[in-house]
Amino acid sequence: MRARRSAPRSASRSARRSAPPVRALAGLLLAAALALTGCTGSGDGSDSGGGAKEAAAQGDSRADGPAAEDRAGAVGGGADGAKATAPPKLAPAHIIRTASLTVRVEDAPKALDAARTATENAGGYVGDETTTRDEEGHERTEVVLRVPVERYEEVLDELEGAGELLERSAKAEDVTDQVVDVDSRVKSQRASVVRVRELMDRATKLSDVVTLEGELSTRQAELEALLARQAALKDRTSLATITLSLSESPVERAAEDDDPGFTDALAGGWDAFVTMLRWLAVALGAVLPFAVVAALLVLLWLRLIRPRLPRRPAPVAARGEEPGGQD
């Protein structure tokens, strides 16, 4: 009996001795399980938080979607409104500019050289030129200058400053419609010529070829005429024309007071008297040769011809009277 009681006691003692390591191991296992559970929970929590954030972002985007679209539409509408209210871009205008200047200068050749230099420096050229000289030796020169439109005003101001400006006239003619019309017709005519040439390449009959050749020549002639007109318009719109007249003769200025006075009457009378004397001198000069010839003829008659003529006999005395009469 004692042996049996001692055996259980020893077993219980051994069980008590082995209990602490088991508990410790169980505690470690429980702590590890809790740690693993916490990590998993934190991971799930983070994932769920990220998913919630994404869902919230999606919800916000869905909620803000119409408003955002409305705002974008408002911005787009504002841009469209700005585009609608903005002034449309105008097509480049084609204007023919011409000007005429009359300037009195002291030295016409020198002023002409300065005008040529100004024109060439602006990228233009000198056209027709005419120079005349009056009875007093004053020169008058008229020259046509072609300058680019961009330098037109600059050259015009420089020419005006060459001397005393007497007259100025400028003209601007808008030919934009003509330029656009001619360009469109040139394009259409070129396409027409190309079509006729394609038909000629496909033609197999001689009669068709002859007909198409005549049509092609007609259309090419029209195209050349349009091209010539296009070039003329381009030349006139790209280069302005300035007609410059340079004069050395002084200009008579009109009197400020139009009402005549005593001095005006005296001057007018003196002019009339001088004019009368001048006409009398002219008349005398015209009659003088005839008067000299007449005087010479009379002198010749009296001195040479008349003394040689036979004299007439003296008249016979009356019958009742005796010569040497006695009482």
Dist CA 205 CA 287 (whole Å): 94
DSSP 3-state assignment of 111?
helix
DSSP 3-state assignment of 311?
coil
| Predicted local confidence at residue 323, as pLDDT | 52
| Residue 136 DSSP class | T
Q: What angle do CA 174, 176, 182 make, to 5 degrees?
A: 130
Q: What angle do CA 163, 166, 168 make, to 5 degrees?
A: 105
| pLDDT > 90 fraction of the chain, expressed in percent and rounded | 22
Q: What is the per-residue pLDDT across 162-206, written as a single tens digit (0 to 9) for each?
A: 888 888 999 998 998 999 999 999 999 999 999 999 998 888 888
Mean pLDDT of the chain: 73
pLDDT at residue 5 tops 70 = no
CA distances from 8 to 5, 19, 270 (A): 5, 16, 180
**Which residues lie below 8 Å from residue 114, measured CB to CB, with a gap of 6+?**
162
- Cβ atoms 163, 111 nearer than 8 A: yes
Dist CA 129 CA 142 (whole Å): 6
| Predicted local confidence at residue 307, as pLDDT | 76
pLDDT at residue 71 tops 80 = no
Per the DSSP assignment, residues forming a β-bridge with 146 are 125, 241
**Which residues lie below 8 Å from residue 136, measured CB to CB, with a gap of 6+?**
249
Q: Are strands 95-104 and 239-247 parallel, antiparallel or unpaired?
A: parallel
Dist CA 109 CA 121 (whole Å): 18
Task: Give pTM, 2 decimals.
Answer: 0.46
Nearest of 129, 168, 166 to residue 146 by alpha carbon: 129
| Predicted local confidence at residue 305, as pLDDT | 79
| Long-range CB pairs of 46-51, under 8 A, 24+ apart, other chains included | none
Who has greater pLDDT, 313 or 142?
142
Query: Per-residue confidence at 23, pLDDT binned at 50, 70, 90?
Result: low
| Predicted local confidence at residue 94, as pLDDT | 87
Who has greater pLDDT, 81 or 118?
118
Average of pLDDT values for 294-316? Answer: 77
Average of pLDDT values for 310-316? Answer: 64
Sequence letter at residue 265? A
| Predicted local confidence at residue 42, as pLDDT | 44
- Poorest-pLDDT segment among 46-50, 84-88, 113-117: 46-50
| pLDDT > 70 fraction of the chain, expressed in percent and rounded | 63
- Cβ atoms 94, 174 nearer than 8 A: yes
pLDDT at residue 92 tops 90 = no
| Predicted local confidence at residue 78, as pLDDT | 44
- Cβ atoms 240, 97 nearer than 8 A: yes
Query: Per-residue confidence at 260, pLDDT binned at 50, 70, 90?
Result: low
Token code pair at residue 111: 């002023």
| Predicted local confidence at residue 64, as pLDDT | 44
156: how many CB neighbours lie within 10 A of its CB? Answer: 21
- Cβ atoms 126, 241 nearer than 8 A: no
| Predicted local confidence at residue 230, as pLDDT | 92
On the 0-12 / 13-18 / 19+ scale of CB atoms within 10 A, 154 is middle
CA distances from 243 to 116, 127, 134, 150, 157 (A): 12, 9, 21, 18, 14
Can you give the length of the chain in residues? 327
